[in-house]
Structure 1
């Protein structure tokens, strides 16, 4: 699929933002006063900034409010509802810590659960699409949640948890790529099934169905060279896991190490997200003979 900048920013920023909120919510001794203000400002800024970025991918951003009405059938609508609920609960939790110095553990745990549920609903927007076999796997949700928890652990200063999660995330990402590379072939979809002519023999494309690219071709068909993709995968793994782990292990200053590791990790997540969309083979491409 076309790797739109708005969607990459949305999945990258909102994921780490809600992951950070989740860690703040379960913290048995969270910061208070000014420390809490800056922590929650960063967490809310990332989460809300990502959500705002997502609206720029809509044809009519002013109609985004309508997403709330389709919760029975749409994961996008469920995501919107969960996001608002998480932000409202965490706002109460944050206000108590900042202005009253009071810790409301129940509100924190509920807010943390809603934050992770928001990340899960985001992942299901993509994971439930059978037309994109690479995405259509429970590993997609596991990967989104892992990235959120890892980024949140880095931002919340949990070095031990961050190192463990960085390793887990790298393994999940590698497994997701390996499984995804054969997903389209194993789905059974071909040019014959796309045109429903498979019962008449081998089907091949003689000419494109259209003389010029149309909406489906622009949005759902994006071809990336295998060598280029492999290089970007290596870069993504280096940035998301390898370099942050080395920084956390060998730099003695925890604050500097965490800040640097978090920035590099975030750059790696953005790279992995670009690949997430660029490598996604929509079955509509079979109809156009582009797979």
Structure 2
């Protein structure tokens, strides 16, 4: 598939923002985060900017972005509609939780219950985003068991790294257990992405040119003549090609920048006496961001629609 910049930004930014909202509620419940008003303002501002900016960017690739609100009316049958509806509703409990934290200096009691509800709805929103792609059976690279857990754990990992960084900037004494949490989340994300890539590389074709044309009983089917003499929309959007060597290089970037370097920096800050730990954690945030962008670009670029079987591809 042709990687749309707006969708890449949406899935990375909103995923990190929802991950932050989840961990802000969890860490507050564990007593690891103070009810300080400045901390609450900074943390929630970053989370909401990431979420809102991501959601808005997701409309940029639409032909009529002003009609995006109509997608919510199909929530009974559409994962896209469910995502949009839950994403909007999530602002209610998380917004009240943030308001209580910032204006009242409280993050416990009833406010914490609102935060927990917002965290659960944030998870649901990320899951709905994943299911938009996992439900597309015509794109085998997305329609598999690894897509939903990958989206969920990447959101949790990036959110944990961000909250840990902000906590270090404020000099909180509870940064150590947050580092451990971020390390576990990043390690889990790396394991799931490696499993996804391994499953994709060893997966048997879901469909072939023979089965797509209904002529598989006659043996191998080959294309005699291309249906179009020039490139068209379907081939540009659904049959986007990326050289294998470039894909391998981008996977290395995604693994190195998105997972290995942040893991090393988090571990170094957590178990050594590095000066200015907030600087190293800031580097971990930036590294993770660039790595996840590369991972997400590959997620779209390596996917191929089965319609390409009618344009010369032998399998999908």
Regarding TM over 0.5, the answer is yes
Match of 1:88 in 2: 92
Q: Which range moves more in the overlay, 206-215 or 271-280?
A: 206-215
Counterpart check, 1:76 vs 2:96: no
Q: Deviations over 1:50-91 (max 9, x none)?
A: 111110111111110011101011100000011111122100
Q: 2:301 aligns with which of 272, 278, 290?
A: 278
Q: 1:170 aligns with which of 190, 203, 208?
A: 190
Q: 1:144 aligns with which of 145, 151, 156?
A: 151
Q: 2:127 aligns with which of 120, 123, 129?
A: 120
Equivalences, count: 289
d(CA) in 2 for partners of 1:186, 1:226: 18
Unpaired runs of 5+ in structure 1?
A: none
Give the Å deviation of 1:197.
2.3
Would the alpha carbon gap of residues 290 and 202 (structure 1) be closer, same or farther in structure 2, given more than 3 Å must change? Answer: closer
Match of 1:45 in 2: 49
Would the alpha carbon gap of residues 270 and 167 (structure 1) be closer, same or farther in structure 2, given more than 3 Å must change? Answer: same
Q: Deviations over 1:148-182 (max 9, x none)?
A: 00011111112111111111111111110111124
1:1-291 to 2 correspondences below 5 Å: 1-26=1-26, 27-28=28-29, 29=31, 30=33, 31-103=35-107, 104-157=111-164, 158-183=178-203, 185-187=204-206, 189-251=207-269, 252=274, 253-291=276-314
SS in 1 for 2:41: helix
What TM-score, normalized to structure 2? Answer: 0.88
d(CA) in 2 for partners of 1:80, 1:268: 26
What TM-score, normalized to structure 1? Answer: 0.96
Q: Deviations over 1:91-137 (max 9, x none)?
A: 01100110111221110100000011110000000011111111111
d(CA) in 1 for partners of 2:225, 2:248: 30
Asked whether the 8 Å contact 1:16–1:46 carries over to 2, the reply is: yes
d(CA) in 1 for partners of 2:266, 2:20: 18
Q: Deviations over 1:216-266 (max 9, x none)?
A: 212111111111111110110001111111112224233222221111101
Unpaired runs of 5+ in structure 2?
A: 165-177
Give the Å deviation of 1:32.
2.9
